[in-house]
């Protein structure tokens, strides 16, 4: 495993963990039978976006020896901070 491919392990782990947390949160709301929740936007934000970026990280891990690998891994790692800013309500 090269250094470039190791760079993708952090974003892959973080995005996968956020997707699992999102699935747990959506299931928790769904099991309480709250009217109108979870809605489509919540499903997209808490499950689909982290799952998509985890998939992108996995694909990046497979193609990491390419020159663009390091920049893509850094961008995926920095995207976590922007995502978590809104995940916490901006506080």
**What global pTM score does this model have?**
0.78
Domain ranges of the chain: 3-87
Distance set, CA 82 to CA 76, 77, 85, 88, 89 (Å)? 10, 10, 5, 10, 11
d(CA 56, CA 11): 9
Tell whether omega for the bond before 74 is within 30 degrees of 0, i.e. cis. no
The three-state secondary structure class of 33 is coil
**Residue 90's Cα: distance from chain center in Å?**
18
pLDDT digits (tens, 9 = 90+) for 18-77: 999 999 999 998 899 888 888 888 899 899 999 998 888 888 777 766 666 667 777 887
């Amino acid at each position: 495993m090269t250094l470039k491919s190791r760079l993708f392990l952090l974003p892959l782990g973080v995005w996968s963990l956020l997707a699992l947390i999102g699935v747990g949160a959506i299931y928790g709301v769904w099991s309480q039978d709250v009217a109108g929740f979870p809605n489509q936007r919540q499903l997209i934000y808490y499950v689909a976006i982290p799952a998509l970026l985890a998939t992108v990280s996995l694909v990046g891990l497979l193609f990491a020896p390419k020159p663009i690998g390091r920049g893509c891994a850094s961008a995926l790692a920095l995207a976590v901070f922007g995502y978590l800013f809104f995940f916490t309500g901006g506080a």
